[in-house]
Amino acid sequence: MKGFGLGQSGAETGGHPPVGGRRISGAGEKAKRKAGFRTNDASAAGWRTKTAGFLIGAALAAGIGYLFYKSWLASMILLPFGWLAVPGLQGWLSARRRRELAGQFRQFLYAFSTSLSAGRSVENALLAAERDLAMIDPSGKSLLCRELKAMNGQIRNGLSAEKAFARFAERVPIQEAAQFSAGFSLCKQTGGDLGEKIEMQQEMEAITAQKRFEAKAMAVIPFALIAFLAFGSPDYMAPLYDGIGRLIITVVLLLLAGCHVWITRLMRLEV
């Protein structure tokens, strides 16, 4: 297929041929140091996310404990359940990050495929894709822009395009990147299919956006009603805060939690 000549990388990208199969430079140590900084930053970000998730979850658990039992002791007992919010927050942030990456990856696929169709080599097509994404994101702070820049640097330093794509797929946490890396030899055809898949997934999310909002509203409304009755008509709700009423309100809380889990699973979209 035209445009897949990996042997043209040195001539067409303007780089020098590697010596003994590898380029000798100080870039390796610099890359290791940067990788170490990224690892430390990722670890710190992970702890910040866990802390934020626990604080949010603890606040919600304490509020629910007081709302359902009218007891600060119940609020304190439920505080440790704040850790249950950590996976939810991490999952939400991860899903949002994957959606953003999928959109950026689709733009990359279109730019890369267009360059290959014009007869460019893989290396030059990657450089053109990096320039195209830089026009969309001049700051260059998006993950895909940084990964493309790193991948082009690795290829200039003598790494094969196949290995560069494999490392790219390991670092970018979306399924389409792994599929694209596995089918790299047919990237012109595969790239269009993956682009259509990402576009279809985004269309499905847009179509179901109202239903997902309704699901969130359904999860919040019961708590709002209980709060309205508990503080607006305390005498009406008083039997639920004493004797067998506590057992009834506990069952209600468990049923609401089960419904929330069920609705969350129903709203998951897979293409």
Residue 1 is predicted with a pLDDT of 39
User: In the predicted model, is pLDDT for residue 77 greater than 60?
Assistant: yes
**pTM value surpassing 0.75:** no
The stretches of 137-243 forming alpha helices (DSSP H) are 143-156, 161-171, 175-182, 187-207, 209-232, 234-237
User: In the predicted model, is pLDDT for residue 20 greater than 70?
Assistant: no
Q: Which amino acid appears at position 162 of this protein?
A: E
**C-alpha distances in Å from residue 44, one per residue of 39, 50, 55:** 9, 10, 17
The per-residue pLDDT for range 135-186, each reduced to its tens digit, is 888 877 788 888 888 888 888 898 888 888 888 888 887 887 887 777 774 5
Q: Average per-residue pLDDT in the chain? A: 75
What lies within 8 Å, CB to CB, of 72 at 6+ separation is 66
The per-residue pLDDT for range 25-75, each reduced to its tens digit, is 444 444 444 444 444 555 666 788 888 888 888 898 888 888 888 888 888
